[in-house]
Amino acid sequence: MKNAALLFLTLALFACNPLENKLEGGWVVDQAYYHDEPVLWDLYSNGFDLKPDNTCHLPIDNWDDRNTVKQTGIWSAFEEKEKIYLRIKTENRIFNRKFQVTKLRKVRDTVSFGYLMKMTIQADSLKMDCTKALYK
């Protein structure tokens, strides 16, 4: 019985990753650059969803056949050398990479008088400025 309780506590600690809690949810892409060229208008949607079960729903670009490109993937967040990273594993060629997360911050929304979460994610060839609403 003691071993089962210890196992449950260990799993609970790993399942409650505060960094993943900050990143999960529906994000709107405000700006997107691929190889320093603006690509926001080349995406079929301007948002992505990082779900609590570590799956994600991603936008696809209009260069690919939208019936064959995967819009789903697996995501994780971690810290390495005091930097925050978002790793997305997918068959989607644009999003299959490790992004450094910068400018992760909570800001006041002057329209709704609530709060927004902002971040910039950047990899070797893709940079996106993103926003999500905070409902808590």
- Give the pLDDT of residue 26: 96
More confident residue, 135 or 134: 134
Tell whether the torsion through CA atoms of 64, 69, 71 and 74 is positive or negative. Answer: negative
- Give the pLDDT of residue 122: 97
- Give the pLDDT of residue 65: 56
| Residue located via tokens 């570590």 | 54
- Give the pLDDT of residue 59: 86
The pTM of the full predicted model, rounded to 2 decimals, is: 0.79
What band does 111 get if pLDDT is binned at 50, 70 and 90? confident
Taking only the tens place, the pLDDT of each residue in 85-109 is 999 999 888 889 999 999 999 998 8
Q: Is the pLDDT of residue 9 over 60?
A: no
- Give the pLDDT of residue 16: 57
Q: Which helix (H) or strand (E) holds 22?
A: helix 18-23
- Where exactly are the structural domains of the chain? 18-134
Task: Please state, in angstroms and as integers, the Cα–Cα distance from residue 90 to each residue in 8, 60, 73, 97, following that order.
Answer: 30, 11, 4, 8
Q: Which fold has domain 18-134?
A: Lipocalin (2.40.128)
